[in-house]
C-alpha cells in the first residue's frame, strides 16, 4: 500500500451548473469520475488535463475572496496547493487525482474584482485530472499518495 502524508482538508466543494455561468454551487459531497471530472459540473473535461481545480483557502483569504469565487472545485484548508508538484498524486476522500498544471489567473478574475488577476499570480491553484473514481466530502483529508 502506498504511503500517505496528510496535507490538509477539504473546506469547500464547488460545481458549476452551466458553462460560462460564472456561478459555482456549494456541495457537501461530490463524486469524482475517472478521467472526466466532477459529476454534475459543467467544467468537467473528459480526457483532459484540466478536470478539477484545487485552491488554498489561505490564499483566497489573503486576497479577500470568498471560497468558490475563483471557480475552484475544491477549497483546501491547511496546505498550500501551489506547492504541489506537477505529477504528484493526491487522495481526497476515496478519489485519487494527479496534479497536471498550475492554473494561471485569467481575465475572468478581473471581472470579479479589478486587479484580482494580478493578486492571484502564484495563488490561483493547481489543476488535476481524476485518476481513481470516488466520493469527496467536506472535511475529508487531502493526502499525498
**Which structural domains are found in the chain, ordered by start?**
5-144 (2.40.33.20)
Predicted pLDDT at 2: 52
- pTM for this predicted structure: 0.94
> How far is residue 129 from each of residues 6, 51, 104, 116, 142, measured CA to CA in Å?
20, 5, 16, 26, 15
- 29 is written with which cell numbers? 459531497
* pLDDT tier for residue 21 given thresholds of 50, 70 and 90: confident
Helix (H) / strand (E) containing 11:
strand 5-15
* Separation between Cα atoms, residue 116 and residue 96, nearest integer Å: 30
Count Cβ neighbours within 10 Å for each residue of 95-114 and write b for 16 or more, e otherwise: bbbbbbeebebeeebeeeee
* Range list of H helices, 64-124: 108-112, 116-119
- 126 is written with which cell numbers? 493547481
| Dihedral angle sign, alpha carbons of residues 34, 17, 63, 11 | negative
Task: Indicate the length of the chain as a whole number.
Answer: 145
* Separation between Cα atoms, residue 45 and residue 47, nearest integer Å: 6
Predicted pLDDT at 4: 60
Which of 28, 141, 138, 145 minimizes the C-alpha distance to 85?
145
Which of 74, 75, 54, 59 minimizes the C-alpha distance to 116?
59
Per-residue model confidence as pLDDT tens digits over 69-123 = 999 999 999 999 999 999 999 999 999 999 999 999 999 899 999 999 999 999 9
Amino acid at each position: 500500500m502506498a504511503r500517505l502524508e496528510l496535507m490538509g482538508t477539504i473546506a469547500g466543494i464547488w460545481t458549476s451548473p452551466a458553462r460560462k455561468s460564472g456561478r459555482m454551487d456549494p456541495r457537501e459531497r461530490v463524486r469524482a469520475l475517472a478521467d472526466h471530472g466532477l459529476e454534475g459540473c459543467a467544467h468537467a473535461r473528459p480526457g483532459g488535463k484540466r478536470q478539477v481545480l484545487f485552491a488554498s483557502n489561505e490564499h483566497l483569504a489573503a486576497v479577500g475572496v470568498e471560497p468558490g469565487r475563483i471557480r475552484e472545485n475544491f477549497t483546501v484548508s491547511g496546505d498550500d496547493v501551489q506547492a504541489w508538484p506537477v505529477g504528484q498524486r493526491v487522495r481526497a476522500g476515496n478519489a485519487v487525482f494527479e496534479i497536471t498544471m498550475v492554473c494561471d489567473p485569467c481575465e475572468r478574475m478581473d471581472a470579479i474584482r479589478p486587479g484580482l488577476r494580478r493578486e492571484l499570480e502564484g495563488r490561483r491553484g493547481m489543476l488535476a485530472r481524476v485518476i481513481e473514481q470516488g466520493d469527496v466530502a467536506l472535511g475529508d483529508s487531502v493526502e499525498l499518495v
